[in-house]
Chains A and B, each alone.
Chain A
Amino acid sequence: MIDAFWFDSLFILCAIFSILLFLLVVTVKNPVYSILFLIGGFIPIAVIYFMLNAYFIGIIQILVYAGAIMVLFAFVIMMIDLSKDDYKKDKPLVYRVFAGIAIFIALLIVTIPVIDFTSGLFNHLNSNSSNFGTIESIGKMIFSPFKENYFLLSFELVSMLILLGIVGVIILAKQRQAKEED
């Protein structure tokens, strides 16, 4: 239905946009712009998730990552005084560029065997059922406790983990009020 040319060009477009936007996140000085570029970079990533038949994960990425986590970041930026950032204390640009190149080479050494192994080995294939990766089929997998996929317990434990996160955040960020004795 969708021929390979449009799929490829959409993939290259999304790849270039995501790399560009995430590069802008780590290089601009103003953290407010970094938040905006991060949200913008999640959109091409979600498009790639949709191309990989991961419809549920793509929607969850936009809802949770771009919709909830970035809102947290925006609230914290609101509470922080950004005029006190001292850009004179940055290390010289040469150091940071060298650090970037060193990281790139180190990761390249680690991932070249993987890339070499996977090139040309597996071909592009369409999904075998039209229901794959949708909310309905992932919901059936998570919420049916007695089949061979037993993910209900881990799902409930993840909700416990998020509750732990909430409790931790409140304890960490609560301001200690000076108690006055009557």
Chain B
Amino acid sequence: METTFFNLTNCLILSFILFGIGCFGVIARRNILIILMSIEIMLNAVNLSFLSFNYFLHFIGGEKAHYFVLLIIAVAAAEAAVGLALLVTIYRNKKNTDSNSLEIMKG
């Protein structure tokens, strides 16, 4: 089979679709927990694009792309933890996890 599905273009299209799904989740959902989960989806899409570029460009940077993806996963972990701590604090003060209720600075 000459034309294969497992090439750089299709991996980037998958990364793009996942990033779009994450963006949609951040914008269109009101529950802050779902927003945090959509941020994780976006970070996964970016990891996929890093690794697919590394693989399909004949490993042009060696394993530095793998190490950078490891750093991204570590940063995502720390950021998810801090975001969840913020969510817990907001819930304690407002008794709901609605992002529309955070409008003290509005207007």
Contact = CB atoms under 8 A, between A and B. Distances in A.
A115 interface: yes
B77 A118 contact: no
Contact of B78 (A51, A91, A120, A161): A161
B82 A57 contact: no
Nearest to B8: A118
Contacts of B18: 18-19, 22
Interface residues of A, number: 87
- The dominant DSSP class at the A interface is helix
A133 interface: yes
Q: How large is the interface on B (under 10, 10 to 19, 20 to 34, 35 or more residues)?
A: 35 or more
Given A25-B41, A99-B24, A89 B66 contact: no
- The dominant DSSP class at the B interface is helix
Contacts of A114: 12
A104 to B, nearest CB: 5
A173 B73 contact: no
A31 to B, nearest CB: 5
B16 to A, nearest CB: 5
Interface in B55-107: 55-59, 62-64, 66-67, 69-71, 73-82, 84-89, 91-92, 95-98, 100
Interface of A: 4-5, 7-8, 11-12, 15, 18-19, 22-23, 25-26, 31, 34-35, 38, 41-42, 45, 48-49, 51-54, 56-57, 60-61, 64-65, 68-69, 72-73, 76-77, 79-81, 84-86, 89-91, 96, 99-100, 103-104, 107-108, 111, 114-115, 118-125, 127-128, 132-133, 137-138, 141-142, 149, 151, 154, 158, 161-162, 164-166, 168-169, 172-173, 175
Listed from nearest, the 6 A-B pairs whose CB atoms lie closest are A165-B78, A26-B25, A172-B85, A8-B5, A169-B85, A52-B55
